[in-house]
Amino acid sequence: MFIFKDAMTGFFDHCRYEKNLSAKTLKFYTIDLLQFSAFLELQCFPLVGTEIDKAHLKGYLQELSVWKPKTIKPKVATLKALLNYLESRTISTFCSGAIFTKSPEEVSAKHSFPRSSGSSRK
């Protein structure tokens, strides 16, 4: 069992020391993940990482949908990066591609977010 905030700490260490990301990117990652964590807390969703599932992420995406795509895309990219990190460390069995990739039949165009290959905030 791992606590989401502990996972965030490990992810930030990975980004800072292994990926050598800039302070600016780390700042944005911090903002994005603290915002997601606050969403989980406000919705009374679990803060235990293994209990966060696709439904929780969809709820967050719905909350973000009122913003412009220019704002949404980096936040989604940050969550993807965290989930990929967790998968690579076998901390979580999330499949971030499956969570964030949606077919046109599943969602309206308003809630459809294109896949990004990475964050442009380096």
Supply the pLDDT for residue 91.
57
CA 83 to chain centre: 7
Q: Give the CB-side neighbour count of residue 55, counting CA atoms within 13 A.
A: 5
Q: What is the 3-state composition of the chain as percent helix, strand, coil, each rounded to the nearest 5?
A: 65, 0, 35
What the block records as the tokens of 88 is 């690579």
Assigned CATH topology for domain 4-111: DNA polymerase; domain 1 (1.10.150)
What pLDDT score was predicted for residue 66? 93
Arithmetic mean of pLDDT over the chain: 75
Average pLDDT (80-104) is 63
Domain ranges (residues) in the chain: 4-111
Beta bridge partners of 48: 3
Q: What is the pLDDT of residue 111?
A: 44
Per-residue pLDDT of 30-81, as tens digits, reads 999 999 988 988 888 766 655 677 888 899 999 999 999 999 999 999 999 9
